[in-house]
Amino acid sequence: MREQLLALREPLLQWYDAHRRILPWREEVSPYRTWVSEIMLQQTRVAAVLPYFERFMTAFPTVQALAEAEEEKLMKLWEGLGYYSRARNLQKAAKIIAAQYGGVFPGTYDELIALPGIGDYTAGAILSIACGIPTPAVDGNVLRILARLGGDESDVTDAAVKKRYRAALAETMSRERPDAYVQALMDLGATVCLPNGEPLCEECPAKAFCAARAAGKTALLPVRAKKKARRVEEMTVLLLYRQGKVALRKRPAEGLLASLWEFPNVPGKRSEEETAALLAEQGLQVRDWKKSLHARHIFTHVEWQMQGYALEVMGEGKDDLVWMDREELLAHAVPSAFEKFKKEALEN
Ligand code: SF4
């Protein structure tokens, strides 16, 4: 693989100069902008990130501004991107940078990976792209390119394999243009050496010496050990209307979607009778069953299968319920897992 990486270095940079994607965080570069863009891009497509990035930079143009942001405003700006712990970690790290580094981004690998939410890949991207310090940034795209380039059938989900690839890159990557080199690999993975199906080898700067292409094995690489099946969780979500308002509550401070707003829900698929009994225990009486709904949401390790009831209720209800009118609902961030229910509540 080392030979192929050395052979690829210059053609890859030339290819990048001709084909690079124009992206806002590349037009004006700073560690802060690179960091925010890379965190947003985790689990999210570039096209989806673009409007969020612009809005985020307008609202919080500096690390200091992010450190001082109101949590509700931050969550609202993140609404729809999912994986809200990313936003929380951004702010936690911004507070540390503001308090411990006087608002100036730290410039070493060890300092960066000590910050919440910054791992090996993000640290490498910030150092190479925004600080000019050659440091590999190995994500799924890069693992795929390297496995194919070297015709390597090792399991790329194995940490030892990733470590080996990282070492090969550290030794062979461009020292003069680490920013272009790291971004070139990102772009090659996103636009040419595509996952699933056929990579566009004819357009690839590695086509003359790529081992997978020569052996006709591009569809078989990279090798990934089978993932564990997702856990399925069934639940019943309630759209409780009372006097023109709908009930929401905050999720627990720990765990999935921590501290975000949600529509009240209970585990399991409950019948109308069971639901009415549960509500009665909480001091709410059903006046009218309006509608049944169904939705599904897939997280990394869990799949929620949701059935829902929209119903008119009366009574005091528990203290944890917050009754919101349309404007209040619009002003609060509700995770996209509840998207269908929010839409229904807004249309009601
Ligand atoms: S030649 Fe094909 S398989 Fe090899 S790195 Fe390029 S796009 Fe990927």
Structural domain that includes position 46: 2-214
Query: Of how many residues is the chain composed?
Result: 348
From the list 87, 41, 63, the residue with the least C-alpha distance to 186 is: 41
Q: Is any atom of ligand 1 closer than 6 Å to the C-beta of 206?
A: yes
> What is the 3-state composition of the chain as percent helix, strand, coil, each rounded to the nearest 5?
50, 15, 35
Q: For 142-201, write each residue's pLDDT tens digit.
A: 999 999 999 999 999 999 999 999 999 999 999 999 999 999 999 999 999 999 868 999
- Look at the chain and report how many structural domains it folds into: 2
**pLDDT tier, 317 (very low <50, low <70, confident <90, very high otherwise):** confident
Are the CB atoms for 143 and 116 separated by under 8 Å? no
Residues 6+ apart with CB under 8 A from 66: 60, 74, 90, 91, 94
197 lies in a domain?
yes
- What whole-number distance in Å separates Cα of residue 265 and Cα of residue 308? 9
Q: What is the pLDDT of residue 1?
A: 87
35-60: average pLDDT: 95
Ligand 1: does its nearest atom lie under 6 Å from the Cβ of 201?
yes
Instruction: Looking at the structure, tell me whether residues 179 and 259 fall in a common domain.
Output: no
Atom of ligand 1 nearest to the CA of 203: 7
239 and 207, same structural domain?
no
Same domain, 210 and 318: no
Please indicate, yes or no, whether residues 108 and 139 belong to a single structural domain of this protein.
yes
Please work out whether the CB of residue 311 comes within 6 Å of at least one atom of ligand 1: no
The rounded distance, in Å, linking the Cα atoms of 34 and 233 is: 36
What's the CATH code of the domain at 96?
1.10.340.30
Do residues 6 and 70 share a domain? yes
For residues 254 and 194, membership in a common domain is answered with: no
Residues 204 and 236 in one domain: no
182, 129 in Cβ contact below 8 A?
Answer: yes
Q: Is residue 301 predicted with pLDDT exceeding 90?
A: no
Q: Is 54 a catalytic residue?
A: no
Let me know whether 9 and 122 are in one domain: yes
Alpha helices in 129-233 (DSSP H): 131, 140-149, 159-172, 178-191, 211-214
pLDDT digits (tens, 9 = 90+) for 186-240: 999 999 999 986 899 999 999 999 999 999 999 999 999 877 788 999 999 999 9
* 264 and 133 within one domain: no
- Candidates 3, 27, 38, 54; catalytic one: 38
Is there an atom of ligand 1 within 6 Å of 87 CB?
no
Q: Identify which of 213, 221, 223 to mutate to test ligand 1's pocket (most ligand atoms within 8 A of the CB).
A: 213
**CA 171 from chain center: how many Å?**
30
Nearest protein CA to atom 8 of ligand 1, as residue: 193
In-domain check, residue 12: yes
> Among residues 214, 242, 276, which one ends one of the domains?
214
Q: What is the pLDDT of residue 285?
A: 95
Q: Is the CB of 5 under 6 A from ligand 1?
A: no
Task: Specify the ligand 1 atom closest to the Cα of 221.
Answer: 3
**CB of 210 closer than 6 angstroms to any ligand 1 atom:** yes
Residue 143 has a pLDDT of 97
Average pLDDT for 307-312: 95
Please state, in angstroms and rounded to a whole number, the distance separating the CA atoms of residues 204 and 188.
8
Tokens representing residue 280 in the block: 């009665």
The predicted model gives 257-273 an average pLDDT of 93
Domain membership of residue 222 (yes or no) is no
Closest-lying ligand 1 atom to the alpha carbon of residue 218: 3
Q: Is 185 domain-assigned?
A: yes
For residues 191-215, one letter each, b for 16 or more C-beta atoms within 10 angstroms of the residue's C-beta and e for the rest, the string is ebbeeeeebeeeebbbeeebbbbee
Shared domain check, 268 and 209: no
Between the CA of 269 and the centroid of ligand 1 the distance, in Å, is 47
Q: Residues 50-102: pLDDT tens digits?
A: 999 999 999 999 999 999 999 999 999 999 898 888 999 999 999 999 999 99
Q: Does residue 210 share a domain with residue 175?
A: yes
CA-nearest residue for atom 2, ligand 1, is 201
Per-residue pLDDT for 254 more than 90?
no
Please give the number of the atom of ligand 1 that sits closest to the Cα of 201.
2
Q: What is the pTM of this model?
A: 0.78
pLDDT (mean) for 25-49:
95
- pLDDT score for 348: 79
Residue 223 counted as domain residue: no
Identify whether residues 183 and 237 lie together within a single domain.
Answer: no
